[in-house]
Structure 1
Amino acid sequence: MATKTNSSGIRTYTLKGGKLRPSQIITTFGPGAVVDLPEESIMIAGIDLWPQGAIIQETRLQQALEVKHFRAPAIGNFEGDVPCVRFPLNRVCINKDCSLISRSKSCPECGSDTYPARLIVICADGHADDFPWFWWVHRSKKCSGTPKLRLVNQGRTATLADLVVKCSTCNQQQSLAGALGAKAVGTTCKGKHPWLPGMPDVHCSATPRSVLRGASNVYFSSLLSALSIPPWTSPMQVAINTHWSTLLPIATNEALQRSLIPALPEFAGFNLEDVIRAIKERISGTTTLNTLRQEEFRAFRNPGTGINHTDFQICDEPIPVGFEPYIKRVILAQRLREVRVLRGFTRIDPADADNVDAPLAPIMVNSQDWLPAVEHRGEGIFLELDESRVAAWEADNRVCQRIEGMFQANNKWREQRGLKPLGSLLPRIVLIHTLAHLLIRQLSLDCGYSSSSLRERIYTGVDMCGLLIYTASADSDGSLGGLVQQGLQNRLGATLRSLLENARWCSSDPLCTEHQPLLTGQIKGAACHACCLISETSCEASNRLLDRALVCNLPSLPSIGFFDHGI
């Protein structure tokens, strides 16, 4: 890691290429995330300080987020790498006879190396700070001089209780027992943004929480993704993408367009009038955060005779025998392009998936006309359930009663976190989500993909009832057609039959089947790690809103499974 100072005098560090992949910068280790490296603990800096990475265009997502374009993280060399800051600042001497707590990489007393302190402080509003070591030791009595702290390991156990913070000046000491948790730190949040150098502290009323710096609740990225769909995947729109930074400033000046476009080789063979019309359509788009999925759903359910674009190639596939009453359409997607964008992040709890406008911790000091993103390509299987049959199934009182406990548990969970309660919970949301999880688990057995390499994309609403299981990555994984082959009529039929057979039983039964969401606070019914849960990176709802009983009939429960429902 190398030190850099920008034109504003802000000192940052630069990760050398190979430490993190671009996709990790967007998902797991974005601005504000703590990265634990062998020689250092750092926090990725805000995008204001990032070097200019490659431009990524995705028209619908740009319109929804109101930005001009996206940029990939620049990773690979000293001059063009993602900057970071040291965090936490406090460090501990590795010399057991010294163990001095300081902010130097070399101990001021004995000259030994130091390592980053284990504990940090975070709050629900996204702020982060060093653990208040001085306060922890001197909270009952002030130090008689200049405090000098040491972290002494008593060597009896591996717990925090065995670590004692001592002040060499006044001889006060305090064990770290009870140092973790929501009420461990009696101070107020200082409103610090260490990942945004130069940003002033703000007043914060949130309760600070002390955690281990590598804890999983330190950082939850808030991602928004979109698939490239027609008409934006047409060859003409791909050509416009290439020169969009040049065309955007003259998007309303038709005279300049007529003189510039013919000179660009990418537009050779296209009608000039059609290109100008396509530019007008692009700048007058009406995509919002709430319509992103609706547009994709319509693109999948209307393949016509097949769409064969570079970034969106789909075709109809016959419905597996025996599933015609339940499944309305099967679409094989041989080519997909997905753009994932980082909007912000949260701490302590994941971002509210039900409210795309919920506040997030910032990833920039000053407003930018771009956001960090990565583009992935892959393949997938799209299933649409029969809308009329789903509606009739949802009207069953037993289905409504089954969903009520999960609905109440969900609102109770939201209330505890200060989130707005939901007015209703459509049974189809839980049905589709559970079916997607079961399908991912079964496909991982049938075609060799690990479950973590498959992702779900849920399309539910009053007029939507579908799902997409896909694999997409920046490398070759998912580009060889293995997943699409599993969507062929005979193979998909075998997969669905195996899925339903396996879903009827769980190795954790009867505990899994009899789970009550209101009693445990877990927002799921008959679902656990043994039968339904998948990797957090593959799930859109943090493994919540799942219930096998809505997919197929389970022993000792009312017969309400959709695929066993006699209507």
Structure 2
Amino acid sequence: MTKNAQRLSQLISTFGPGAMIDLPTRSVVVAGLEFWDMPPTSFATISEPRLTARLEQILKDQGRLDPNSSLSLRTPPIAPDSPTALPAGVTAPIFPTWFVCELADVLTVGSGTIRRRRLVRWQDLDTRGRRRFIFDDGRKSDVTPIRFVAACEKGHLQDIDWRWVVHGPVQCQEPLWVEEKGTSADPADTSIVCGCGKNLSLQDAFQPGRLGKCQGERPWLLDRDPDGCGENLKLLTRTATNTYFPQVYTVISLPSAVDDLTRLVGELAGELTNVASAQDVAIAKKFNNKVSASLGTYSDDEIFERLERLRAGAQADASRSPKMSEFDVFASGHQQIGQNHPTAKLYAETLPRTAWVDSSVSVDTSAIKNLVAVHRLREVSSLYGFTRFEAAPTSSDGDIEDIQLAVRGAPISRGADWLPAIEQFGEGLFIHIDEQAVNRWLQTPDVVSRQASLLRGYGHWRTRFSGGAPNYPGTAYTLLHSLSHALMAEIALDSGYPASSLKERIYALSDAGNGGVPVRCGILIYTATPGAQGTLGGLVAAGSRFSSILRSALDRLMICSNDPVCSDHEPDGRSGDRATHGAACHGCLLIAETSCEMRNLFLDRSLLIQTMAHHQSNFFD
């Protein structure tokens, strides 16, 4: 990988527009989409009509997309293979622009010492590479970006005005210094000191309003928010994990019973995004070699008719939760789902019960209706915004909740008509759970009692959201979510996949929403990566051993290394995310957050099996 390069997946997750990245000599912020170098040969258009239509509708509703524009999905720019070609890339402005000199003066104060380092601006550095600061006496010092910046809950980001913070409205041009005492990074041991004698402890900088009001700065867009701001700025550690939470929308591509022409048009839908008539099809054939090679033998009217049909289907699906469409395909019961073809977006088989039920294993599988081996699937993910300080609430039905505006997601462009996206291929297992069995279980007195405890915990947890919280996903969701985590841990041991490479999609969907009676229950455990791990076949092969995997997963949950503390945990009255947990901890159910769709919320192994606490709310015997 070349210097200062990022993977495509990182640009729609960890290091998307608005995120800060440490480089060897400075820190930068990834610029918005308008500042990405996107010549036609540097990116590919991704066709996923369901995802495109849903995101287009949402962005228009939020005023982030022109009502007359059509949205498209593109990969981030890819560096060319030729070493002599000018590489495409992403602009990354310098941020923050305050630096601390590495050359330190050691001062003796009483019985202790203080390390004193000069605080300087980007424009103060040596113009040749801007890597060093030259003192008045000729000494040269390397510099590092200051660790602290200021941000607000709307996602705005700006340098701290250290002179104003130290002096207030009084003007002073004396040099600023960072003074540190002790051996820890405790804010109380760090101060910003001016040459005039004024100083500020970083511990005081955490006080509300101490850094002043937000000016709506958006350095990733090189502008200020036209709507203004005025909220209190908060101190933000530049490298902390709460500086950037991407808002990513993900769907699993679905097959359709189509003829060859519809399939070809579907594959080229990204190239035909701006086609609005049969005449436009003729123009696309003339100037796009890919379209001409694939569709040249078909008439323009036929091609446009198929394109309109695909768009109509996507618009109809846009009003539904993406998980509902996915569940209906996986749980159809068809022996074959999709096509067994190298270019197919989805190919799966509903396994006969004799292929995965082992009578020699003592586990009750009566509540599992079907097991589907997903030989090939395509996952498309698109970045549409981000938040700071706290991640956006996650909806259990896979949709973007209206409540997401309460966490004030920030835009990644000023109004671009495209979003960055990636597609990944992999495999998986879909477990269809009997909805009637789940509903009968929900009505038992012990489960009703346990649900009341989980609801009280949810009530405490939701108070952390000032503008409202996500709906309670339902006790059925907590059951399936806990089962999914248990199976993922066991499958990782059985199949050889790294646990962090596995992902989940939980289908506990109700018509009424807000945790109502589920009418669709299932779990998709899958892996999808750009590399070889997505196609090793380990997950599909695990289907024949599913009974043993399920039994081992449940047995492993009976005793946790943190018992009895874990098994006795009650969500009532707890603070933070622990209020959404029953018996769940890092020793039993919690997994890597990159693998969990709900950020490790709403888990309880006492809903699966009987723990040391002897709750009678277990679904499995």
TM-score, normalized by the shorter chain, greater than 0.5 = yes
Contact 1:182/1:208 (<8 A) preserved:
no
Write the letter of the residue equivalent to 1:507: S
1:172 equivalenced with 2:206 (yes/no): no
The change in CA–CA distance for 1:334 and 1:528 in structure 2 (over 3 A counts) is: same
Aligned partners of 1:347 and 1:232: how far apart in 2? 43
Match of 2:178 in 1: 151
Which of 478, 483, 492 does residue 539 from structure 2 map onto? 483
What SS does structure 1 have at the residue aligned with 2:441? Answer: helix
TM-score between the two structures when normalised by the length of structure 2: 0.81
Match of 1:114 in 2: 143
The change in CA–CA distance for 1:346 and 1:271 in structure 2 (over 3 A counts) is: same
Farther off after superposition, 466-475 or 187-196: 187-196
The change in CA–CA distance for 1:59 and 1:372 in structure 2 (over 3 A counts) is: same
Aligned partners of 2:558 and 2:383: how far apart in 1? 38
Match of 1:218 in 2: 243
Contact 1:326/1:563 (<8 A) preserved:
no
Aligned partners of 1:338 and 1:231: how far apart in 2? 16
The change in CA–CA distance for 1:475 and 1:17 in structure 2 (over 3 A counts) is: farther
Number of residues of Structure 1 aligned to a counterpart in Structure 2: 544
What SS does structure 2 have at the residue aligned with 1:96? Answer: strand
Aligned partners of 1:373 and 1:112: how far apart in 2? 42
1:430 equivalenced with 2:464 (yes/no): no
Aligned partners of 1:259 and 1:464: how far apart in 2? 42
Match of 1:264 in 2: 292
The change in CA–CA distance for 1:87 and 1:256 in structure 2 (over 3 A counts) is: closer
Percent identity for Structure 1 against Structure 2:
31
Contact 2:609/2:620 (<8 A) preserved:
yes
Aligned partners of 1:347 and 1:133: how far apart in 2? 22
Contact 2:279/2:300 (<8 A) preserved:
no
- Following TM superposition, by how much is the alpha carbon of 1:267 offset from its aligned partner in structure 2, in angstroms? 3.8
Contact 2:151/2:158 (<8 A) preserved:
yes
Which of 427, 431, 454 does residue 383 from structure 1 map onto? 431
Write the letter of the residue equivalent to 1:293: K
TM-score between the two structures when normalised by the length of structure 1: 0.88
Write the letter of the residue equivalent to 2:241: S
Match of 2:366 in 1: 325
Farther off after superposition, 51-60 or 536-545: 51-60
What SS does structure 2 have at the residue aligned with 1:304? Answer: coil
Residue correspondence of structure 1 range 91-490 to structure 2 within 5 A: 91-97=99-105, 99-104=117-122, 105=130, 106-109=132-135, 110-139=139-168, 143=170, 145-154=172-181, 156-168=183-195, 170-179=196-205, 181=206, 183=208, 185-200=210-225, 202-231=227-256, 236-244=261-269, 247-253=272-278, 264-267=292-295, 275-285=303-313, 286-288=316-318, 290-302=320-332, 304-306=334-336, 307-308=338-339, 309=341, 310-317=344-351, 318=353, 319-321=356-358, 322-354=363-395, 355-357=400-402, 358-359=404-405, 360-421=408-469, 424-462=472-510, 463-488=519-544
What SS does structure 2 have at the residue aligned with 1:363? Answer: coil
Aligned partners of 1:540 and 1:558: how far apart in 2? 27
Which of 64, 73, 76 does residue 76 from structure 2 map onto? 73
- Following TM superposition, by how much is the alpha carbon of 1:424 offset from its aligned partner in structure 2, in angstroms? 4.8
Write the letter of the residue equivalent to 2:173: T
Match of 1:63 in 2: 53
Aligned partners of 1:325 and 1:300: how far apart in 2? 19
Aligned partners of 1:182 and 1:145: how far apart in 2? 23
What SS does structure 1 have at the residue aligned with 2:133? Answer: coil
Contact 1:460/1:466 (<8 A) preserved:
yes
Cα deviations across residues 112-147 of structure 1 (Å, max 9, x unaligned)? 2211001112222111122342244335xx657324
Aligned partners of 1:205 and 1:117: how far apart in 2? 24
- Following TM superposition, by how much is the alpha carbon of 1:21 offset from its aligned partner in structure 2, in angstroms? 0.7
- Following TM superposition, by how much is the alpha carbon of 1:174 offset from its aligned partner in structure 2, in angstroms? 2.9
The change in CA–CA distance for 1:127 and 1:508 in structure 2 (over 3 A counts) is: same
Match of 1:9 in 2: none
Residue correspondence of structure 1 range 478-517 to structure 2 within 5 A: 478-488=534-544, 491-517=545-571
Aligned partners of 2:291 and 2:550: how far apart in 1? 53
Aligned partners of 2:618 and 2:370: how far apart in 1? 20
Aligned partners of 1:364 and 1:556: how far apart in 2? 48
Cα deviations across residues 205-230 of structure 1 (Å, max 9, x unaligned)? 54432121111111110111111111
- Following TM superposition, by how much is the alpha carbon of 1:289 offset from its aligned partner in structure 2, in angstroms? 6.2
Match of 1:531 in 2: 588
The change in CA–CA distance for 1:423 and 1:378 in structure 2 (over 3 A counts) is: closer
- Following TM superposition, by how much is the alpha carbon of 1:362 offset from its aligned partner in structure 2, in angstroms? 3.3
Structure 1's unaligned 5+ residue stretches are 1-14
Aligned partners of 2:265 and 2:35: how far apart in 1? 29
Aligned partners of 2:176 and 2:226: how far apart in 1? 26
What SS does structure 1 have at the residue aligned with 2:378? Answer: strand
Match of 1:550 in 2: 607
Match of 1:11 in 2: none
Match of 1:41 in 2: 27
Write the letter of the residue equivalent to 2:77: A
- Following TM superposition, by how much is the alpha carbon of 1:273 offset from its aligned partner in structure 2, in angstroms? 8.0
Aligned partners of 1:312 and 1:270: how far apart in 2? 25
The change in CA–CA distance for 1:234 and 1:208 in structure 2 (over 3 A counts) is: farther
Match of 2:127 in 1: none
Contact 1:430/1:545 (<8 A) preserved:
yes
Aligned partners of 1:268 and 1:424: how far apart in 2? 52
What SS does structure 1 have at the residue aligned with 2:53? Answer: helix
The change in CA–CA distance for 1:380 and 1:270 in structure 2 (over 3 A counts) is: farther
Contact 2:100/2:146 (<8 A) preserved:
yes
Contact 1:381/1:468 (<8 A) preserved:
yes
Aligned partners of 2:120 and 2:320: how far apart in 1? 49
- Following TM superposition, by how much is the alpha carbon of 1:270 offset from its aligned partner in structure 2, in angstroms? 7.5
What SS does structure 1 have at the residue aligned with 2:572? Answer: helix
Farther off after superposition, 423-432 or 327-336: 423-432
- Following TM superposition, by how much is the alpha carbon of 1:25 offset from its aligned partner in structure 2, in angstroms? 0.9
The change in CA–CA distance for 1:365 and 1:156 in structure 2 (over 3 A counts) is: closer
- Following TM superposition, by how much is the alpha carbon of 1:534 offset from its aligned partner in structure 2, in angstroms? 0.6
Write the letter of the residue equivalent to 1:554: T
